[in-house]
Amino acid sequence: MRKIRDSGVTVLLIEHDMKVVMGLSDRAAVLDHGERIAFGKPEEVQRDPKVVEAYLGAGAGGNAGKKESVPSGDVRTEASDG
């Protein structure tokens, strides 16, 4: 998939494994109950307070941005050449 992305083709990936998402994506969108709650660079999305709250609960805000606190919910990503 990385070869396809690197050739300039846009790839739409629907994935729950955040290691895959973080390794392949230029941009990511996170859905909560079918509604988009975050969109942007994967590193930014992973730290978004709405994402942390939706997937880890309201009390998890202090862990935002740590790799172990990455949500495992519905994430749609878009990889492109720029």
Question: What's the whole-number average pLDDT of the chain?
Answer: 79
- pLDDT for residue 81: 55
Mean pLDDT (whole number) for 23-39: 92
60 or 12, higher pLDDT: 12
Q: What is the pTM of this model?
A: 0.62
pLDDT value for 62: 56
What is the arithmetic mean of pLDDT over 7-32?
Answer: 88
Provide the domain limits for residue 35: 2-79
Entry field: residues in the chain: 82
Number of domains making up the chain: 1
Average pLDDT of span 12-27: 87
